């Protein structure tokens, strides 16, 4: 079986998305790139995460051709491949529908530097324009929006995080959901005080030392 460890990780983190309330049902999807074999382990579409077995995770090339697996891959395969091919530091993608991040996305807002933990994404969490799920247009919108950031809101849809590892991409998802909740709550009280670029420079230097 190809990419057994990556398949197990896909299932592990899909289940974590449910138990940590980052999505519901079969919402969201995950991919992990094995750089050595240049293959992608990606979650199948519309399958109960707690019934999923390693053989249900689909293995594709970086062009989207199915190499191993009888399931249909996630309908969002196009943006997983586009992101994995976009930057050398992206080897895992986590797409989720957390309540607060998705609420902000439904307002068509970015998440600014309301809290230093936005640094898990970058200086902000940008917004990708809405397009129908599973389309090349949506993949293009996400690629055009993410830049050097590690997270992006998808308008009227949800949250997407990337990382060198599945653990880092998932951690970014959790932290950005917290920042989204803080942004929601501060906006309900008035105009939040944002950290300056210089303050965020200092945060990012500690987050990502060279």
SS (H, E, C) the chain: CCCHHHHHHHHHHHHHHHHCCCCCCCCCEEEEEECCCCEEEECECCCCCCCCCHHHCEEECCCCCEEECCCCECCCHHHHHHHHHHCCCCCEEEEECCHHHHHHHHCCCCECCCCHHHHHCCCCECEECCCCCCCHHHHHHHHHHHCCCCEEEECCCEEEEEECCHHHHHHHHHHHHHHHHHHHHHHHHCCCCCCCHHHHHHHHHHHCCC
Do the Cβ atoms of 110 and 166 come closer than 8 Å?
Answer: no
Do the Cβ atoms of 30 and 93 come closer than 8 Å?
Answer: yes
Instruction: Provide the 10 A C-beta neighbour count for residue 102.
Output: 22
53 is catalytic: no
C-alpha to C-alpha distance for 201 and 80, rounded to whole angstroms: 29
Which entry of 76, 110, 174, 198 is annotated as an active-site residue? 76
* Catalytic residue set: 76
């Amino acid at each position: 079986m190809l990419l057994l460890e990556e398949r197990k990780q896909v299932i592990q983190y899909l289940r974590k998305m449910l138990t940590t309330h980052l999505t519901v049902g079969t919402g969201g999807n995950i991919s992990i790139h094995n750089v050595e074999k240049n293959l992608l382990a990606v979650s199948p579409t519309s399958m109960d995460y707690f019934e999923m077995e390693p053989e249900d995770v689909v293995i594709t090339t970086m062009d989207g051709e199915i190499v191993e697996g009888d399931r249909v891959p996630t309908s969002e395969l196009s943006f997983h491949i586009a992101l994995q091919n976009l930057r050398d530091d992206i080897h895992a993608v986590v797409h989720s529908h957390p309540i607060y991040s998705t609420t902000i996305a439904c307002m068509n807002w970015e998440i600014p530097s309301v809290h230093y933990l936005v640094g898990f994404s970058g200086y902000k969490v940008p917004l990708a324009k809405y397009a129908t799920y599973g389309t090349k247009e949506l993949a293009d919108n996400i690629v055009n929006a993410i830049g050097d950031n590690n997270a992006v809101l998808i308008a009227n849809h949800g949250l997407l995080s990337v990382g060198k590892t599945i653990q880092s991409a998932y951690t970014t998802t959790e932290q950005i959901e917290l920042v989204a909740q803080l942004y929601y709550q501060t906006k309900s009280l008035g105009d939040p005080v944002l950290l300056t670029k210089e303050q965020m420079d200092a945060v990012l230097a500690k987050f990502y030392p060279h």
